Every structure is written in C-alpha cells, then in structure tokens.
Amino acid sequence: MSATSFTALARTSHPETALRRFLALDAVVTGANGLAYLVASGPLGRLLGVGQGLLLTLGALLTVYAGGVALLAARARPAATGVRAVVEANLAWAVLSVAALALWLTPTVTGTVWILLQAAAVAAFAVLQHMALRVRQESSD
C-alpha cells in the first residue's frame, strides 16, 4: 500500500494521527468485544458453541488489553515499543484464533464464521498499526 493510499485510509496526512486512530479503533472494538463476552457469556457461548468459562476469561483479558491499547492511543506520541507489542499481540491473537479453531474448538457454524472474521479483523489492525508506525518512522528520518 502506498503512502498516499494509506493516508487516505487513515483520513489524515499526519502519521502520528493515523497511528493513534488505528490504536484507538482497536481499543474500542476490542473493548466492546471483551465487554460483550463478560456481560453475555452464556447466550454468546450457546450461539457460538464456545464454553461460557472460556468467553468469561477471554472477555476479562480483552477488556484489560483494550484499556492498555487505549492508554497507548491517548499519548501524543505512542511509544514505538508499545505499538510493536500491540502489533505482535494482534498477530498472535489472529494466529491462535485460527489454530484454536483447527485444533481444539468445535464451534457452531456461526462461531466458526465469528472466529474467522475476528481473526481477520485483528490481523488487519496489526497491519494498519505496523504500517502507520513505519510511515511515522520514515517521516521523522
């Protein structure tokens, strides 16, 4: 993706703003997902074919993680180390989601679709955040 199309996607020509937006969007989506798992783990577990206990655990984890990503996004200049950690965590989540689906989870069709869509969305966040960090670093050189 060229820098021009990337900045159009971010709707800004400022690399710092793009990075912060992608981090903030990740925090909002992840936080909403985590809260949904915490609040509605029973019904969501039945719908997705995933255990309520697993959803409660993931909900707590995602909610805490989203808080950390939100704090990073709130900084005027998010630390490159923190952004790299978020990118790596997102990539790990995407890979582990697909691995869990292939190796040990037996979700419903809805659950399978949800897990794959979630993995794709999280991987997309990782790519966008990585690209925004790279553009920021290139513009400051």
pLDDT by residue (tens digit) across 43-90? 999 999 999 999 999 999 999 999 999 999 999 999 999 999 999 999
Handedness of CA 119, 122, 130, 72 (dihedral sign): negative
pLDDT at 4 over 60: no
Cα 139 to Cα 51: distance, rounded to the nearest angstrom:
46
pLDDT-derived band at 7 (thresholds 50, 70, 90) equals low
* CB contact at 8 A, 23 and 15: no
Residue 57, burial from CB neighbour count under 10 angstroms (0-12, 13-18, 19+): middle
Of 114 and 17, more confident: 114
Cα 84 to Cα 46: distance, rounded to the nearest angstrom:
35
* Token output for 71: 């704090």
Of 16-20, 41-45, 79-83, 117-121, least confident by mean pLDDT is 16-20
Compute the half-sphere exposure of residue 86: CA atoms within 13 Å on the CB side of its CA: 37
* CB contact at 8 A, 66 and 59: no
Cα 27 to Cα 20: distance, rounded to the nearest angstrom:
10
Share of the chain above pLDDT 90, in %: 82
